[in-house]
Structures are given as structure tokens and as C-alpha cells.
Structure 1
Amino acid sequence: MERLSYDYFVFPGVTDRALRRYRAFLQPPGRRPRFPREAGCSCRGCSLDDVRHARDVLEKVLRRLPPRPRAELARQVHVLDRRYAERTLPDPLAPHRPWRSNRWWWRRQADGPEGT
């Protein structure tokens, strides 16, 4: 699926990289809130530095996979989504932002360096 995709952000190996990035963001133990950070570069490799973009890529992949692989990946992503929701804070200004994402993982507070 990755090899056949015409999407710039979906390329061979991206599912593994995005999943690793999502796990790494949630890896530090503890209960302190985590704050996603913007990627320093918007190229398809560097954009995964932003965990929210990594989650976007996982969503794209999930939509295009056949049923069995989709279910397997969805189980892993669902567990990480729960942890992401627990470790990040809702952004009270999200409804007022000009870009207003419809993806819940973009409606979380994201200012400051990651993890502080």
C-alpha cells in the first residue's frame, strides 16, 4: 500500500516510522502532560517530528489498508490514542483557531517544547 500510494506523505516504511514516533512521544513514564511540537521542516521525513502529523499519516494508512491489516494496526493505534488523550491537555481555544482541525489529536495543547 505504501509503495503504491500517490500521497506525498505516504511512502515505503512510513507506517513503521509514524508508529514508532507516536510510541516515542508517549514513552516517558509518569503523568506529566506532554505537548506536541511543530516539525522544523515540512518535508515528508521531517514532518514526522510532529507527533500529530505522524498520527495523520497513520489515519491515512488505516483508510487504505485491507480489512485484516487495518484491524491489526487499528488495535495498536487505539491503545496509543487512549494514552495520547490521557497525556495531553485539551486546547480550549481550538474551536476559535482559523484552521479548526476536525481531527481530535490536533485539538490538544501544543505550545512549548515537547514534554514540558
Structure 2
Amino acid sequence: MPRNRPGALRAAAPRATAPRRRPEAPPPHVPGLSATADRDVHRAERQRPDRWVEPGAAGEALCRYRAFLHAPGGRWRYPREAEFSCCPGCARDDVRHCRDVLAALLPHLPPRSRAELVRLLRPLDAEFRRRTLPDPFAPPDAPWWWRRLGDPPWG
């Protein structure tokens, strides 16, 4: 009598458990944060505290914020208005939206992770204030980064 193959036996056996799913790929590491703070940021992103926050948004926002500030030369910088500010991905073309994403995450982080992210943002914010001009016509109740002059969307 021929022997049954192991694969044939497994195929004939009833499945007791659901098939395994591949775990979702983790968002990229937020540059400059420790592993603990990075994990806390990703947890806060998954909770979606704001409509602009999605998984991976903090890392992208921080990279765009740094890229805007580390442009060569010491000239004034003018944040560019996003052409389509209604969708989260397009809105991050405006560096002020990137700063909004980071500000939206801060209250949802544990104290140590929040302090670590604030330590990263503090020199970037100082550079942003130094390289941008105040907008005298901005609403006074807006966050400070929205009270800086920016390029119009048509310019």
C-alpha cells in the first residue's frame, strides 16, 4: 500500500485556525527619536488624533520641516501654500501643515516621549522663527507658525 504524502494529509485535515496574515509593515523610523519615543509616536498616529495624522505622518512631517529649514543660504524663507490643502498628503507641501501634524501628536504622547519630540522641535522652531518674517495680517488666535509670511498659492 502506498504511503500518503505529508502535504496531502495536511490538506485533508480540517483547519482549526485562521490562516496567518502578514503583519502590517511598521511606519518608517522618526529620525532623531529613541525607539521608545518612536513606538509611542506610531501608537499616537494609529489613534489618529487629527484628520491630518495618519501612520507615518510624523516622520514625513519632521523630514519636510527639516528640509525647509536646511535650505542653503541665509535668505528669508517663505512657506509655500499647498495647492490642494484638502487632502493630508498634498497639504504637507506647506511646511506649516507639517508643523500642525507634529503639534497634533504632542498631547497624545507620554511625558518622556513628548519631551523628546519637543527637544527635537525646539531648535527647528527657533530656526523657523529666524528665517521667516512675521505676518502682520495673520489672525492672532492662529498658532505662531501660521503667523509667518508665506508665498501665495499662485506665486
Q: Same fold by TM-score, threshold 0.5 exceeded?
A: yes
Compute the TM-score of the two structures, normalised by the length of structure 2.
0.65
Q: Structure 2 CA distance, aligned partners of 1:56 and 1:8? A: 11
Structure 2: gaps (5+ residues): 1-43
Deviates more, 1:3-12 or 1:49-58: 3-12
Structure 1 runs of 4+ off > 6 angstroms? none
Q: Deviations over 1:15-70 (max 9, x none)?
A: 10110110011011321000001112121111111000110111001111111111
1:45 is the counterpart of 2:45: no
Mapping for residues 94-113 of structure 1, pairs under 5 Å: 94-95=138-139, 100-111=140-151
Mapping for residues 82-101 of structure 1, pairs under 5 Å: 82-95=126-139, 100-101=140-141
Aligned length: 109
After superposition, the CA RMSD in angstroms is: 1.6
% identical equivalent positions: 57
Using CA pairs below 8 Å that are at least 6 residues apart, which structure has the higher relative contact order?
Answer: 1
Q: State the shift of 1:94 in Å.
A: 2.1
Q: Structure 1 CA distance, aligned partners of 2:77 and 2:141? A: 19
Compute the TM-score of the two structures, normalised by the length of structure 1.
0.86
Larger Rg: 2
